[in-house]
Structure 1
Amino acid sequence: MSDTWDERIAAYWASADDARPAAALSEMRALVEERPADDPEALYEWASVHDFLGREHEAIPLYRAALDRGLAGARKPQAVIQLASSLRNTGEPEAAVELLRAQPSDEVTGDAAQAFLALALHDCGRHDEALATATRALARTLPMYRHAVESYAEALTERSGDA
């Protein structure tokens, strides 16, 4: 077999089917078991399949373990975003906010962290701050009206008292 582990992981995700959870877990387990038990990339992929299948409570400690063991590269920002999303989905939106506030935009995830931050802020009842966060991220993509949209986002931030 000449495919690298990363290529086989990519192929797995290209065909992953959440309607077949047992098969999804079994197939990913086989890939993960090719790596050492404490391999951060394998832990991340194992967390991701749990998350994909709606098993966020199981995914959370796996994401944390991957990050604690030095997950790096393109997977790291994805792990932070996915961990924060899982925390939000399991009733811990404040923890998600804390993770996402420090997550910069990057080439892999773009402004996805800002989108998930807006959702977490909304869940925390911080609606103006959530809308301002989403609007700021959107403003960066606008070929026209960027300044106006940024100004409206700033006004929302001031109104919410988070200036």
Structure 2
Amino acid sequence: MTFDWDTRIERFWREADDTVPERMLATMRGLMEERPAEDPDALYEWASVHDFLGMEAQAIPLYESALRAGLSGDRRPQAVIQLSSSLRNVGRAEEAVRLLNAETSGGVTGDAAAAFLALALHSSGRPNEALSVALRALAGTLPMYGNAVTRYADELGGDSSPS
């Protein structure tokens, strides 16, 4: 049954349309009701639809609940990144920085944690650290000059990069 639910969740996101928020919320609510009340995957998906619809303030406690309930697998790093993004969007950038500093890059999200950390640092009034984080993430993808870009990032200061 989990596979069937996950397949329908994937289809939901492929067809996601923020111009029909009531329909999206109703459809996701129906999918959520198939799972136990504190199911971390369902809580994460419920948070995500709120976030997608620009309802970040409502998404934040839902993401937090999903993480507290033991969200794991590919959804966990996505939840941390999405929660951090929502926190930054509602003016709580320092909380986003703390969350993302504890997050590692890789897996399903690649360097997304570093990208969102750079945004949160910038919103926190720490532009040099933000640029440093962004350059470090970029340096690993460069076929040439990666070491030079890393040195420049080091000169900017701050070691606020997800490892």
Identify whether the pair has TM-score above 0.5, normalized to the shorter chain. yes
3-state SS in 2 of match to 1:70: coil
**CA deviation profile, 1:100-136 (whole Å, cap 9, x unmatched):** 0011012200000000000000011101000000000
- Amino acid across the alignment from 1:108: V
Match of 2:107 in 1: 107
- Amino acid across the alignment from 2:145: Y
- Amino acid across the alignment from 1:4: D
Instruction: Report the Cα offset of residue 2 of structure 1.
Output: 10
The structure 1 segments of at least 4 consecutive aligned residues displaced by more than 3 Å after TM superposition are none
What is the number of equivalent residue pairs in this alignment? 159
**CA deviation profile, 1:36-83 (whole Å, cap 9, x unmatched):** 010000000000000000000000000000000000000000000000
Match of 1:22 in 2: 22
Q: Equivalents in 1 of 2:133, 2:3: separation in Å?
A: 41
3-state SS in 1 of match to 2:18: coil
In the alignment, structure 2 segments of 5+ residues that lack a partner are none
Q: Equivalents in 2 of 1:26, 1:106: separation in Å?
A: 33
3-state SS in 1 of match to 2:110: coil
1:2/1:153 Cα in 2 relative to 1: closer, same or farther (>3 Å)?
closer
- Amino acid across the alignment from 2:134: A
1:105/1:10 Cα in 2 relative to 1: closer, same or farther (>3 Å)?
same
- Amino acid across the alignment from 1:104: T
The TM-score with structure 1 as length reference comes to 0.95
Match of 1:146 in 2: 146
Q: Equivalents in 1 of 2:93, 2:70: separation in Å?
A: 24
* Alpha-carbon RMSD: 1.4
Q: Equivalents in 2 of 1:33, 1:93: separation in Å?
A: 32
- Amino acid across the alignment from 1:19: T
Q: Equivalents in 2 of 1:134, 1:10: separation in Å?
A: 30
3-state SS in 1 of match to 2:72: coil
1:2/1:56 Cα in 2 relative to 1: closer, same or farther (>3 Å)?
closer
Q: Equivalents in 2 of 1:127, 1:95: separation in Å?
A: 16
Structure with more relative contact order (C-alpha pairs < 8 Å, separation 6 or more): 2
1:127/1:3 Cα in 2 relative to 1: closer, same or farther (>3 Å)?
closer
3-state SS in 2 of match to 1:4: helix
The TM-score with structure 2 as length reference comes to 0.95
- Amino acid across the alignment from 2:90: T
Work out the percentage of aligned pairs sharing the same amino acid. Answer: 63
